[in-house]
Amino acid sequence: MRLADVLAYAKENFGDFVHNKKLDIGGILLNQLRENGVKNIYHEKICTACNERYFSYRRDGQTGRQGGIIMLRSSHGKSLQKSL
Ligand SMILES: [Zn+2]
């Protein structure tokens, strides 16, 4: 698939989130969360390619490993724990 094909697909499906041939993945994810009723969203707004603290294939061109954590909190601010 050519880059032009990928950009055409992205423009057709995510038109509002394509800027200068770059796809705003964070914007797409925020939009999907809001569309699905998620109201309390904390968006860190960190670009892993620009911030040296984070691994970035885009910046360094080498593969590596990266993880993420998602946690639900109760209305009292304590994390919800699942018994095993
Ligand atoms: Zn950046």
- What's the structural domain count of the chain? 1
DSSP three-state, residue 37: coil
Residue 23, phi then psi, degrees to nearest 5 = -95, 125
pLDDT in tens, 18-74: 777 777 888 888 888 999 998 888 888 888 889 999 888 889 998 877 777 877 777
pTM, entire model: 0.52
**Tally of CA atoms within 13 A in the half-sphere of 11 that contains its CB:** 9
| Residue 1, domain extent | 1-84
Between the CA of 9 and the centroid of ligand 1 the distance, in Å, is: 23
Do the beta carbons of residue 40 and residue 30 sit within 8 Å? no
Distance 84 CA to ligand 1 centre (A): 40
* 50 CA to centre of ligand 1 in angstroms: 4
CA of 63 to the centre of ligand 1 (A): 18
C-alpha 79 to ligand 1 mean position (Å)? 31
